[in-house]
Amino acid sequence: MSLKDKEKWDTKYLEKSQLLRPRQASKNLQDNIVHCKGTKALDLACGSGRNSIFLAECGFEVDAFDIAEAAIKALEADARTRNLLSKINATQVDLDTHNIKENYYDIIVMANFLDRKVLASAMNALKKYGVLFVETYMLSDENEKQSDTNNLLKSQELREMLDDSWEVLYYDEFENEDYEIYKMKKQALLAKKIN
């Protein structure tokens, strides 16, 4: 990410403030949280924090990173109203330059965002038996919005990026949530680091 990315997201949130409203956490994350043990969570490109809030409600101490100041402020406000501010460390971070602690987290979440270098770094940040949850957009002729193909997964890409040091606990390709403006295909993966 860069200053250009920061400006893009700050402008997007300014023009579409509905994106900052509190929403339900990812259904796939909610359905699979039973596989997640431990206390330390990281939510990358957290946006307004729907998944951070959910993780904190489940008892995790959450580091929530996003480049947009507006998103961090929205997350902090939501956390404050729910008495979760002490469980969430919301930080404005450029993920291109920020060093994520290695072998530190029990669960890492990356939703509606794709940066393959950041994802590789996140995989190293998990403890043994930690869980990686990724849910983001993929290439499909059914997508209603044109997107940079570098920011879209290919079919089965999340599965294929894992070697034998991972156990896939959940995988799906599906149509995105109803609240989203455009219909887009998504991929979701929950995998445990076993080595």
pLDDT of residue 143: 87
Alpha-carbon span 62 to 81, nearest angstrom = 17
Sketch out the chain's domains with CATH numbers. 3-11+23-193 (3.40.50.150)
Q: Which residues contact 194 (CB under 8 A, 6 or more apart)?
A: 128, 129, 165, 166, 167
Which residue in the block uniquely carries the two structure tokens 């894992």? 162
Split the chain (195 residues) into runs of 10 and give each run's mean pLDDT.
69 68 89 96 96 98 95 94 98 92 97 94 96 96 86 94 96 86 90 96
pLDDT of residue 173: 96
pLDDT of residue 21: 74
Alpha-carbon span 109 to 60, nearest angstrom = 12
pLDDT of residue 4: 74
Which residue in the block uniquely carries the two structure tokens 């059914």? 142
pLDDT of residue 3: 66
pLDDT of residue 183: 86
